[in-house]
Amino acid sequence: MKKEFELNYSLSVLKAAIEATVDGLLVTDRRGKVLCYNQLYVNMWPIPGELLAHARHQAILGYCAGQLRDPEQFLRSIEEIYATLAPESFNVFEFRNGRVFERCAKVKTLEGSDIVLVWSFRDITERRQGESYKAQLAAIVESSNDAIIVKDLNGIITGWNAAAEELFGYRSGEIIGSSILTLIPPDRLEEEDRIMNLVKSGKRTDHFETVRWGKGKKSIDVSVTISPVKDSAGNIIGASKIARDITQRKESQERIEYLAHYDLLTGLPNRALFTDRMRIAIENASRYAFRLALLFVDLDRFKLINDSLGHAIGDKLLKAVAERMQSTVRQADTVSRLGGDEFVVLLGRIHTATEAARVAEKLIAVLSQPYQIEQHELLLTASVGISIYPDSGKDVNSLMRNADVSMYSAKGQGRNRYQFYSEDLTSGADERLRLEYDLRSALARDEIFPVYQPQLELATGRVVGVEALMRWKHPERGLVSPASFIPVAEDSGLILSLGEHILRESCLQARQWHEQQGFEGTIAVNVSAVQFRQNDFTDVVLRALADSGLSPECLELELTESVVMHGVESATQKMCFLESRGIKLAIDDFGTGYSSLSYLRQFAIDRLKIDRSFVRDLPQDTDAKAIIRATVAMGRSLGLRVMAEGVETEGQAEYLRSVQCDESQGYLYARPMRPDDFEAWLKGRKPDFRGSRYQMAQS
């Protein structure tokens, strides 16, 4: 009786104790009989009352196991505890609904050597979820592409992810426990203090851009977001920093900014930046009453070099030009490249126009010195137009326009010189624009046409050919001088369509004369530098011959020395190709260009045409006579025929015959004529031989 009383007393005490615990508790004996349990245990599972009334643990276990994800593992663990009566064991199991319980089983020996098992159950679902969340958060932090740094309020680094290691170069073991000042340049300390004051007040700072130090004090451009770190009670205990490397973006922005204001090739200010500087300079000049000068610099014949030697050589040449120009002007002055081979120079605070002239002279001199670009020694000249503030204009546009007009005037006067702006130049520029405008529609209106001037053999008076010359009959201006419109056509590119038109018309006309008039001479057509540089030039020539049906041997193309001497290799290839097709080639205006006689051996030419400037002063001018004698002798030694242009007097013709010049052309025989007039002239010619002279009469 006493033993049963003691057991009941002990159980009563145990029941009172288990109701006070925070865990769900169940007490059984070693055979599985339920001795007692608390209400929390019933609520946690929950277990029906009728099941508890049986007071058998095995029945309860079956009910409980049905709620779990792995019921078999749960039952095996219980059976093992009953079998071994281990003093203490633990287990964790999950419910199908996501709950997680922690179970602890303890074997207790009561007075009288009776053994009981105390089963305690604790719901750890929230704790597990929290641990899972923390694990997920840690994984996210660790796998983030952004550097994440955590520091306490004393500035000691307490957290450091893999991205931070990569960005700043410090391993976690090196940096955790160190001061955040390790990463902050001295000039950014005040910024850091200001932001930390915001953090301490509970405020977050988003995406501010700053500079931080990596390992070895390497500067890194970063975008940083800083947030307060709080403990479970809501107290601010530190700050978390998310740093993103924006070095590449900064470099891209700087590159975009650079390209927006500077020329990519030369590094000089571009038009936009130059315009801004000019505007500021004009404002200052107006306020303080001083002068400015704008120099518009254009490289003469640069396109010939660029087209013949290639853009790579041309670009290197432009860079060399830019360097020379910068070294010539003052540091306070601005040199800009507008594009192509056009440069401008802004001279600030000048007192007289003479100062601008001196700078222009220096630029012309320094730019004309030889350039060594790879294996090429190149020569350039420059034409400079000058406008003065406020005399030549009071705003950016007028000063630029007037300097440009002046530059074209300098080119028109022979290049390699400078020209100040005057109002007369503006009217000339306006006239040039009107001329270009009218010229664009002249071909469509059939205003452009060829005229023909005969070429004769001096010894016999036989007509050996005709030269086709371009003419323009304007509906209001009448006949426009070729000296006026040909340069405009070349500068605007219109010469390509005009030249092809004249070539085609001349070939058609020559074919007609051959068939209907019995004319056996060649048709000579002038080719401009712009035409000859085109890649498809030879195709244009062959197409004109094919369309007209003219035999290639009846066509002669006239090229100037300057055309063939720029880009000798390319010119030689084209000329050899044309010669291989039977087309004749002549060097026009010979003696006025490079006079590099050694090059004549390389060119596939048939004829030299002595320029009219040497013929004009015959037979009185001894220098002209010497030049003509030498040219004729050289031509004969090379197997070339020599023709003299601009023959207007019988005295000139007589001297040319005396030195055995082969052919001549000029007003002495006939002016350039329309086709009908030429046919009439050809029929009415009456050569009159008197000694060594031929009189050419026209009917």
Specify the pLDDT at position 348. Answer: 87
- Of 2-16, 124-138, 147-161, 315-329, the one with minimum mean pLDDT is 2-16
- Cα 203 to chain centroid distance, Å, stands at 44
Domain 144-250 CATH superfamily:
PAS domain (3.30.450.20)
What integer is the mean pLDDT of 640-654? 94
Specify the pLDDT at position 697. Answer: 34
Q: Which fold has domain 450-662?
A: TIM Barrel (3.20.20)
Specify the pLDDT at position 440. Answer: 86
User: Quick check: bond before 46 cis, omega within 30?
Assistant: yes
Specify the pLDDT at position 7. Answer: 54
Kindly tell me if the per-residue pLDDT of 551 is higher than 80: yes
The residue among 4 and 657 whose pLDDT is bigger is 657
Give the pLDDT band (50/70/90) at residue 246. confident
Q: What span, in angstroms and rounded, lies between the C-alpha atoms of 333 and 293?
A: 10
Which residues are bridge partners to 89 per DSSP?
105
Specify the pLDDT at position 144. Answer: 66
Give the pLDDT band (50/70/90) at residue 129. low
Q: What span, in angstroms and rounded, lies between the C-alpha atoms of 286 and 348?
A: 12
Specify the pLDDT at position 3. Answer: 52
What integer is the mean pLDDT of 306-319? 88
Classify burial at 84, counting beta carbons within 10 Å of its beta carbon; exposed 0-12, middle 13-18, buried 19 or more: exposed
What integer is the mean pLDDT of 172-194? 87
Specify the pLDDT at position 693. Answer: 35
Share of the chain above pLDDT 90, in %: 34
Angle at 385 between CA 294 and CA 290, to 5 degrees: 30
What tokens appear for 431 in the block?
């006239």
Specify the pLDDT at position 590. Answer: 78
DSSP-derived pairing of the beta strands 157-160 and 147-152 = antiparallel
What CATH number does the domain located at 262-421 have? 3.30.70.270
Specify the pLDDT at position 588. Answer: 86
Kindly tell me if the per-residue pLDDT of 299 is higher than 80: yes
CB burial of 432-469 (b: ≥16 within 10 Å; e: otherwise) equals beebeebbeebbeeebbbbbbbbbbbbeebebbbbbbb
Say if domain 2-127 classifies as CATH 3.30.450.20. yes
The pLDDT tens digits for 367-425 are 999 999 888 888 889 999 999 999 888 999 999 999 998 898 888 777 889 988 876 65
Kindly tell me if the per-residue pLDDT of 564 is higher than 80: no
2-127 and 450-662 share one CATH topology?
Answer: no
Give the pLDDT band (50/70/90) at residue 688. very low
Share of the chain above pLDDT 70, in %: 89
Q: Evaluate whether 472 touches 439 at the Cβ level (below 8 Å).
A: yes
Q: Evaluate whether 608 touches 586 at the Cβ level (below 8 Å).
A: yes
What integer is the mean pLDDT of 28-53? 86
* Phi–psi pair at 27, nearest 5 degrees: -120, 125
Give the pLDDT band (50/70/90) at residue 690. very low
Give 33's DSSP letter. B
Q: Alpha carbon of 342 to those of 101, 384, 392: distances in Å?
A: 84, 10, 20
Kindly tell me if the per-residue pLDDT of 449 is higher than 90: yes
Kindly tell me if the per-residue pLDDT of 670 is higher than 80: yes
What integer is the mean pLDDT of 474-501? 87
Cβ neighbours of residue 678 under 8 Å, at least 6 residues apart? 452, 454, 466, 670
Cβ neighbours of residue 495 under 8 Å, at least 6 residues apart? 486, 489, 528, 530, 531
CB burial of 86-116 (b: ≥16 within 10 Å; e: otherwise) equals eeeeeeebbeeeebbbbbebebeeeeeeeeb
Give the pLDDT band (50/70/90) at residue 428. low
What integer is the mean pLDDT of 505-518? 91
CA gyration radius for the chain? 51
What integer is the mean pLDDT of 6-33? 71
Specify the pLDDT at position 279. Answer: 94
Specify the pLDDT at position 143. Answer: 56
Specify the pLDDT at position 11. Answer: 57
Specify the pLDDT at position 244. Answer: 84
The residue among 548 and 11 whose pLDDT is bigger is 548
Q: Alpha carbon of 98 to those of 67, 125, 277: distances in Å?
A: 10, 8, 72
Kindly tell me if the per-residue pLDDT of 504 is higher than 90: yes
Best-predicted range by mean pLDDT among 180-194, 253-267, 270-284, 473-487? 270-284
User: Is the entire prediction scored with pTM above 0.95?
Assistant: no
Domains in the chain: boundaries: 2-127, 144-250, 262-421, 450-662
